[in-house]
Structures are given as C-alpha cells and as structure tokens.
C-alpha cells in the first residue's frame, strides 16, 4: 500500500525525484572522496614530506566540501518540496474522496477517524518520504560506495565487514523485533487512555451525578499504569540499542588497526590506507545503522498508508449516473414506489414496501415511533443512501437517474440536528443561495420566527456563529436552519423533526408562516409532536419500516390504530377529535 501510494502520487514529481537521486549520488561520492584524499595526503604528502602536495590536496578537499554543501542544500530544497507537495496532493484526494462518500461510508469510518487519516496519517507518510529522500536513499548509496572503496583499498581487511555488518544487523533486527510489536501494544494502550478520558470528559455530568469520580480515577490509573509499563519496556529496549551500536563501531576500528597493522608490517598495505580504511568502515557501518533504524519508521508509515488507501479505494455506495435524465417538468412531485432499504447483511429491512406520493402544494407528514425508519426514508430522497429495491422518484424520474446537483438544487433540507457552520449568520443563510440579498435573508428570518433574536445581536447578520452553532440555543439553531432552507427557495422542503426545540406557540406561528410561503412546494415533515402535523394534507404512518396508514388526521383516527395510539399518547381525546 505504501509503495502503491508513493508510486501514484510521486508521478508528477518524477523529474525532481530523479534529480534528488543524482544529487544523493554526487553527495555520496564527494563524501567518500574525502577519506581517499586524506589517505593520499598522508601517503604522498606527509610520508614523503611534500608540503606543496599537502596544500594542493587540501584545496581539492575544500572544493569537494563546498560541493557537498551545495548539493545538500539543493537536495533538502527538492526533497522538502516534493514530499510536502506529495502530502498536499494526497490530502486533496482524501478530502475529495470523502466528499463523494455517501452517509454509509461516512458512518463506516466515522468523522474523527477520517480527520485523523487526512491529517495525521498523511503526515506520517509524508515524513517517511522526506526522510527517505534526504537520508534513507543516501545511506545505501554511501554504504555501497564505501564498500567498493574499502575493498579496493584492501580486500583482506574488508573481510572484517563480514563480521561487523552481520553482528550489527542481527543486533538491530532482534531489538526491532521486540520493539515493533511493543509499539503496537503501546498504541492500543494510548487508545485506551483516550477512551477512558474521553468518556470522563463527555460524561462529566453523569459521573458527578452518580458520584462515580473515584471509580473513574481507578479506571484511569489502571490504563495509565499499563501504558507506563509498556512505554518502559520500549524505552528500556531502546536504551540498549545506541550504546551497543557504538560499541560495535568502536570495536571495528580497533580491529582495523590490529589487522591493518599486520598488513602494513608485511608490506601488503601502505600506511596511509589505514586511516582511509577506518573512515570507510565507519561510513559503511553508519549506513547500515541508519538504514535499519529508518526502517523502524516504515511499519508505522505503512499502517498509515493502509488507512489512507482504505479511504481512497472504498467505492461509494451512491454512484452518480453517467447519463442523467432531466424530468420534463420541474414541480417537485415526490414519489416512493415500493421502496425497500436494508443495511448490507442485515436480517430485517429498515424500510419495506413503502409507497406514497407527496404532491406540490401539499404538506405530507410522516409519523411513527422511534426507529420506525422516518429519517432513513428522508435520507433516500437526496441519495445520502440508495434504496436496495424499489425507487424514489422526483417528477416521475428515479433520483438515481438524475444528476445529483439537479436533485439537490430543488431541495430545502432541514436536518434533525440543526448544524450551523462557523462564520456569520449571513454566511450560514447564504448556504441556501449565495446571491441572496440582505433583504431576502431578513424576509426568510421572519418566516422562520428568527427576526427577534437576530435583531438583538450586536452585529445582526454579521454576528459570528461558532463552529456547529454552539453559541446559539437549540431552538435558535433550529430556526436558523429552517431559514437557511427557505433562502434556497426550493421545490421540495424536507423537515426532519425540525420543530422539536421550539415552544408550542413559536412552533405554531412558524408553521403558519412557512406554509404560507411554501404554497407551491412539496413539503415533507417528520415530527414527534402530533400537534405539528394535525393539519397536514396527508399523513403517512410508519411502523417498523412499513406504511400502516395513509390519509388525513380524521381519516386515520378512524382507520389506523397505530396512529390513534400515537395521537392519544400526546393529546386528550377532545384535542384529537
């Protein structure tokens, strides 16, 4: 997955990546050249007492240092550009993918997880790429180069590497094998702390009301000490790594001097090569060290890449048609035809055999107990989810055959949870229509019974709304979200239990003003409160996903026991009559 993502998203930056590789090569060669020059300096300059030679080689060494610096700067420039651009592109793809998700995929991942995937996980992959370009790829190049030079300098002495490299690799490998699973355990323990704490914070009222603070503290202490135990094992294992690697490095140089000395003694190696060989072996071993240490980052990044890939590849369960049909007339007539909806693998459908029509200029109300499928039914209209059989039609054409934007354009949606966006009141209302004038907005606010409290705000339409609209009360949010739908001037109004937070008087006033305004539109209302729907032109009664009654209030009182039961649970028989 990691490789696949890297391959796909680095394609536009192929040239830069190749250039980075060339730079790495230049850098490695220049870095390796330094010890060679140093050996040359000692063999031909120092040993022969040739001072002008020493100066000449010194100048070349200086030149190559500057070259290394130059290529490093260019390298850092290109690698940070490429890896950050890679991150940017990946984030864009993830966001666009999520934007085309249906409600089902969104719920499957959950918003918080999607946020983490788009930011944290992308960051992980991006950093590994950056490290890879600047360091990881350089390590093998330098390592192999140094190996060639070491062998060229002295084949016999290079045999030392056959001992040092495996020991080092085995050491790091065995430590990593212990640490990597511990990292996973640690992640789980951190998740656990998060979970306990999140419950504590969001359930603070419940915990205090039930005097459970001590119990919660115990739970937390348990999770916390478990995390401590795991972190301890990780850090203690790590504590062995660095000192033992240093020991291997140092012992290798000791060995070089011992065996190298023997070779010098028997005249098999010039004395200056001893110093050069020391430098090479250091370079080789630190490359091995670097490569293996860096590989520690890879499992984590690979896990992140998997999580990103999941988001990018999951097919949306709602696919827009390639050849959209446009209805002949655009009135907003809504029809459910034998609609069934069931979650994949679920035994019972949420909705089954639902058929009814909602006419323009009429108010259709949907009632039913909690879990009877009311909200699911509404979600089918804008294709947040799709029917599993049957069809939903607008103006005679199946919504799945129409362009999504066209379907949405006709719709004034008021969700059950009134959600406002961060910004100003005006900006929120203009979600309905970006071109609406202030006068338009005020007119719509008046219908939604929201004029009073907006006028009381110091900046009125410019008043700030916090994210989610939390600086407004529930009822105010509902009224603003109704106003937002009215601004859209839609053909179809869909109000999902949108009056619940209003007191009865406001509810009544709002409905009167709204139905005045919506005379030509199709209005679909879901309500818990019976008084809200008494005057609807048509009432559809849902029970466990099936339509058990259709008609006006007075008809249903006579024919539908489920309806009668709901009504009498809220109203007295006199009111219900």
Site for other proteins in 368-407 (CB under 8 A): 379, 382, 384, 404-405
Nearer to other proteins, 311 or 352 (CB): 311
The minimum distance between CB 130 and other proteins, in angstroms, equals 6
State which residue, 10 or 41, has the beta carbon closest to other proteins: 41
Shortest approach of other proteins to residue 525 CB, angstroms? 16
Enter the tokens of residue 192.
């656990």
Tell me whether residue 38 or residue 532 sits nearer to other proteins (CB atom).
38
424 interacts with other proteins by CB under 8 A:
no
Q: Which of 16, 36, 65, 489 binds other proteins (CB under 8 A)?
A: 65
CB of 323 to other proteins, least distance (A): 21
Provide the token pair at 392. Answer: 């939903």
Minimal distance, residue 468 CB to other proteins, in Å: 4
> In which residue are the tokens 């009125």 written?
460
Instruction: List 394's β-bridge partners, or say none.
Output: 334, 397
Go through 250-284 and write b for each residue having 16 or more CB atoms within 10 A of its CB, e for each that does not.
eebbeebeebbeebbeeeebbebbbbbbbbbbbbb
How many residues sit in the footprint of other proteins (CB under 8 A)?
A: 144
Q: Does residue 19 touch other proteins according to CB under 8 A?
A: no
Pattern 226-265, other proteins, x by CB under 8 A: --x--xx--xx-xxx-xxx-xx--xx-xx--xx-xxx-xx
Residues between 441 and 460 that touch other proteins (CB under 8 A): 452-453, 456-457
Q: Is 51 in the site for other proteins (CB under 8 A)?
A: yes
Query: Are 130 and 83 contacting, i.e. CB atoms less than 8 angstroms apart?
Result: yes
- Contact flag: residue 435 with other proteins (CB under 8 A): no
Q: Does 66 bind other proteins (CB under 8 A)?
A: yes
Smallest CA-to-CA distance from 225 within 196, 262, 254 is with 196
Range list of β-strands (E), 383-474: 389-394, 397-398, 411-414, 423-424, 464-465
Q: Site map for other proteins, 171-190, x if CB under 8 A? A: -------------------x
Separation CA 85–CA 92 (nearest Å): 10
Q: Could you say which residues in the range 291-320 bind other proteins, by CB under 8 A?
A: none
CB of 94 to other proteins, least distance (A): 9
Report the Cα 80 to chain-centroid distance in Å: 22
Q: Are strands 389-394 and 397-398 parallel, antiparallel or unpaired?
A: antiparallel
Is residue 357 a contact residue for other proteins (CB under 8 A)? no
Query: Could you give the CA distance from residue 455 to residue 255 in angstroms, rounded to a whole number?
Result: 86
For residue 114, state whether it binds other proteins (rule: CB under 8 A): yes
Name the residue nearer to other proteins (CB basis): 422 or 561: 422
Strand partners, 414: 495
User: Which has the closest alpha carbon to 160: 240, 255, 244?
Assistant: 255
Q: How far is the CB of 548 from other proteins (least distance, A)?
A: 25
Pick the closest to residue 313 from 120, 117, 116, 88 (CA basis): 117
User: If 0-12 CB within 10 Å is exposed, 13-18 middle and 19+ buried, where does residue 412 land?
Assistant: buried
221-to-215, 216, 224, 487 alpha-carbon distances in Å: 10, 9, 5, 53
**Using CB under 8 A, which of 14, 18, 22, 77 touches other proteins?**
77
Query: Is 415 near other proteins (CB under 8 A)?
Result: yes
C-beta closer to other proteins: residue 388 or 416: 416
The 532-561 site mask, x for binding other proteins (CB under 8 A), equals ------------------------------
Dihedral through CA 157, CA 161, CA 162, CA 163, nearest 10? 100
DSSP state of 315: P
Measured between alpha carbons, how far is 564 from 553 in angstroms, rounded to an integer?
Answer: 9
Site for other proteins in 206-225 (CB under 8 A): 206, 208-211, 213, 216-217, 220-221, 224-225
Query: What are phi and psi for residue 541, nearest 5 degrees?
Result: -100, 125
Q: Which residues on neighbouring strands pair with residue 420, listed in sequence order?
A: 468
What part of residues 24-43 is at the interface with other proteins (CB under 8 A)?
A: 34, 37-38, 41-42
Residue 69 in the binding site for other proteins (CB under 8 A): yes
Site stretch for other proteins (CB under 8 A), options 6-14, 269-277, 389-397, 537-545: 269-277
292: part of which helix (H) or strand (E)?
helix 272-294
The span from the CA of 246 to the CA of 248, in Å, is: 5
169 binds other proteins (CB under 8 A): no
Binding mask 504-533 for other proteins (x = CB under 8 A): -xx---------------------------
CB 392 → other proteins: shortest distance, Å? Answer: 14
Least distance between other proteins and beta carbon 143 (Å) = 17
Decide: is 489 part of the binding site for other proteins (CB under 8 A). no
Strands, E, within 324-479: which ranges? 334-341, 351-358, 363-368, 389-394, 397-398, 411-414, 423-424, 464-465
CB of 419 to other proteins, least distance (A): 5
Q: Which stretch binds other proteins (CB under 8 A): 9-17, 56-64, 152-160, 327-335?
A: 56-64
CA pair distance 188, 560, nearest whole angstrom: 53
Could you tell me the smallest distance in angstroms from the CB atom of residue 334 to other proteins? 15
Contact between 12 and other proteins (CB under 8 A)? no
């Amino acid at each position: 997955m990691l490789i696949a993502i890297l391959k796909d998203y680095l394609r536009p930056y192929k040239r830069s990546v190749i250039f980075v590789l060339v730079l790495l090569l230049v850098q490695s060669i220049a870095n390796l050249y330094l010890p060679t020059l140093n050996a040359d300096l000692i063999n031909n300059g120092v040993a022969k007492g040739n001072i002008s030679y020493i100066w000449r080689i010194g100048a070349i060494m200086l030149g190559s240092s500057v070259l290394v610096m130059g290529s490093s700067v260019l390298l850092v420039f290109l690698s940070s550009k490429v890896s950050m651009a890679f991150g940017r592109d990946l984030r864009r793809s993830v966001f666009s993918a999520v934007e085309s998700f249906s409600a089902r995929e969104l719920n499957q991942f959950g918003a918080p997880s999607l946020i983490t995937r788009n930011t944290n996980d992308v960051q992980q992959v991006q950093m590994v790429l950056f490290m890879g370009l600047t360091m990881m790829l350089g390590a093998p190049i330098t390592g192999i180069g140094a190996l060639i030079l070491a062998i060229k300098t002295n084949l016999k002495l290079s045999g030392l590497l056959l001992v040092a490299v495996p020991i080092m690799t085995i050491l790091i490998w065995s430590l990593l094998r212990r640490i990597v699973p511990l990292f996973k355990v640690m992640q789980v323990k951190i998740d656990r702390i998060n979970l306990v704490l999140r419950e504590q914070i969001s359930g603070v009222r419940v915990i205090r009301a039930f005097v459970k603070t001590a119990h919660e503290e115990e739970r937390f202490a348990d999770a916390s000490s478990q995390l401590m135990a795991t972190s301890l094992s990780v850090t203690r294992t790590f504590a062995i790594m660095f000192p033992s690697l240093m020991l291997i490095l140092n012992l290798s140089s000791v060995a070089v001097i011992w065996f190298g000395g023997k070779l010098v003694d028997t005249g098999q190696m010039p004395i200056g090569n001893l110093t050069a060989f020391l430098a090479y072996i250091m370079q080789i071993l630190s490359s091995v060290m670097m490569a293996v240490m860096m590989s520690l980052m890879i499992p984590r990044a690979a896990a992140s890449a998997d999580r990103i890939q999941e988001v990018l590849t999951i097919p949306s369960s709602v696919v827009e048609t390639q050849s959209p049909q446009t209805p002949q007339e655009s009135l907003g007539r809504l029809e459910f035809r034998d609609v069934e909806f069931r979650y994949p693998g679920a035994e019972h459908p949420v909705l089954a055999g639902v058929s009814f029509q909602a006419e323009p200029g009429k108010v259709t109300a949907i009632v039913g107990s909690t879990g009877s499928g009311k909200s699911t039914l509404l979600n089918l209209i804008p294709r947040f989810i799709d029917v599993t059989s049957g069809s939903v039609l607008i103006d005679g054409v199946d919504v799945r055959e129409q362009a999504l934007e066209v379907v949405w354009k006709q719709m004034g949606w008021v969700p059950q949870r009134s959600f406002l966006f961060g910004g100003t009141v005006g900006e929120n209302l203009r979600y309905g229509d970006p071109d609406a004038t202030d006068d338009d907005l005020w007119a719509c606010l008046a219908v939604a019974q929201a004029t009073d409290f907006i006028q009381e705000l110091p900046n009125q339409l410019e008043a700030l709304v916090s994210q989610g609209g939390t600086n407004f009360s529930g009822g105010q949010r509902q009224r603003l979200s109704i106003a937002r739908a009215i601004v859209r001037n839609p053909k179809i109004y869909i109000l999902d239990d949108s009056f619940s937070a209003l007191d009865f008087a406001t509810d009544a006033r709002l409905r009167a003003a709204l139905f005045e305004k919506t005379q030509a539109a199709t209005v679909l209302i879901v309500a818990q409160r019976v008084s809200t729907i008494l005057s609807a032109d048509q009432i559809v009664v849902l029970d466990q996903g099936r339509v058990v009654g259709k008609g006006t209030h007075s008809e249903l009182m006579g024919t539908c026991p489920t309806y009668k039961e709901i009504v009498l649970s809220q109203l007295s028989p006199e009111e219900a009559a």
